[in-house]
Amino acid sequence: MNQYFYYEGNTQKGPVSLQDLVTKITPETDVWTQGMVDWAKAKDVPEVAAALSNVSGFTAVPPQQEAPVITVQAQNSDRSPYDSPDFQNLLIWAIVSTFLCCNVTGVVGIVMDLKAEIEWVKGNKDKAWDKYKTAKMWIIIGAVAMVVFYILYFAVLQSVFVNNFPDFR
């Protein structure tokens, strides 16, 4: 049995079964279930319309070939920070991080930025954004690790290293 999602005002609700769904919606409600490309009005989804007519006496109409209803959700996935002319990836910050002692995490950040750019050129906006966030995470990890290391360094390690390895540069 398929699970259904529907909109109540601007809020997405669900999942609910078909029996529960028809008690909560009108023929004009946007609904969606697995297998549908996009959200559609309940009256345009055959099995929902049929179930609705059993409950409320609403008569199902044959599905119409209209433009799909564009919902809030669909718009969100089309919008990406990469579209903004002000957007810049984190390559320069990954490089700064590489030179400021977070070399391993910095290089991972560069690789993630490279992957993000590749996904972006392919048109996978969501994947590109995921890679961007991964790059950001690695740069932050590097920065935190560096701060922790140097607090430890000046507190404890320095004297040990200076005494044992006098030729340290």
Partner 1 sequence: MKLKHTLIIISGLLAVVLIVIVLKFYYQNDPLETVKMPKCAFYVLTGWKCPGCGGQRALHYLLKGEIWQSFCQNPLLYFATVYIAAVLAVGKKFRFLTGIKACTAWFIGIIAFWILRNVI
Q: Which residues bind partner 1 (CB under 8 A)?
A: 85-86, 88-89, 91-92, 95-96, 98-101, 103-104, 107, 110-111, 113-114, 117-118, 121, 146, 149-150, 153-154, 157-158, 161-162, 168-169
Q: Which is nearer to partner 1, 29 or 105 (CB)?
A: 105
Give me the least distance between CB of 161 and partner 1, in Å please: 6
Q: Which is nearer to partner 1, 59 or 149 (CB)?
A: 149
Give me the least distance between CB of 81 and partner 1, in Å please: 13
Name the DSSP class of 14.
E
Q: Which is nearer to partner 1, 57 or 99 (CB)?
A: 99
Q: Which residue has the tokens 């030729």?
A: 167
Cα(22)–Cα(13) distance, rounded to whole angstroms? 13
Cα(6)–Cα(123) distance, rounded to whole angstroms? 29
Q: Which is nearer to partner 1, 31 or 110 (CB)?
A: 110
Contact between 43 and 60 under an 8 Å Cβ cutoff? The reply is: yes
* Amino acid type, 36: M
Torsion-angle region of residue 58: left (phi > 0), alpha (psi -120 to 50) or beta?
beta
